[in-house]
A = this chain, B = another copy of it.
């Protein structure tokens, strides 16, 4: 359907505002429970990404209607088995269901190649280094090191910066039609012999940032990554009663991560990787929300649209 111009514009704006969809596929930590599956978060940001892929992820994708056939990339935070055992079954299903599955990139800490028992041509395994791992024309995924006693990473999914025109000023200076494209390509346009620079009539607006912690202690790199993020999806494996155990095992407490979220001006904190010891997890939510109001407890199947 080809919409007339103004409607097309509106349609694109609407699309833009609903561009990121986060589905919590598994929200348990270390071991599953009847209520919570193993860690995995699906984020649709123009393309479909998985952040961690614990055992049973393919079935959770089927259950929560996240099209497992179109996963573009999987980001594995670290090589503890609860975070990657679902890859095998997912790859096998893709292999069985199509003679030529779409290519998938798996970004994982060094050493994952030796753990991949089913190698298929459509799978590309890339060892994680800090920095940009993947990008499409609207989003980038960055990796940053975290503190989990092993080669462990968190990830930032960042919407690329977008140029916003001061339309009133641009029109008053005579910009119209194709000049908007020209000024973006060249950095300036000339109208009536007067050079108008791109920065005079527009500015770069920072894109939204979603941060996924993996397993980690509260640490400075996480605080930096989380700064001003739209959403911080963070492990909350322990309550503050078990602060020492959390430190020893390189995990966060709900209280600790709430303090970080507050300091880093995170807009929304989502607690996940809930240990089965906490049954419904309400104790974790309670202690986090005493420090920081905008916090939710992830549940399997929970969806956030941004």
Contacts and interface: CB of A to CB of B under 8 A. Distances in A.
Interface of A: 30-34, 37-38, 55-56, 58-59, 62-63, 81-82, 85-86, 88-89, 92-93, 96-97, 115, 117-118
Contact of A93 (B31, B56, B93, B97): B31
Oligomer: number of copies = 2
Given A55-B55, A55-B89, A117-B115, A62 B81 contact: no
A62 B89 contact: no
A61 to B, nearest CB: 10
Contact of A56 (B55, B92, B115, B118): B55
Contacts of A31: 58, 92-93, 96-97
Contacts of A63: 34
A85 B82 contact: no
Nearest to A95: B81
A68 to B, nearest CB: 10
A32 B81 contact: no
Nearest to A80: B92
A59 B63 CA distance: 15
A82 B38 CA distance: 18
A252 B92 CA distance: 21
Given A117-B117, A118-B81, A88 B32 contact: no
A108 to B, nearest CB: 14
Given A32-B58, A55-B58, A81-B89, 7 more contacts: A30-B93, A31-B92, A31-B97, A32-B62, A34-B63, A55-B56, A82-B92
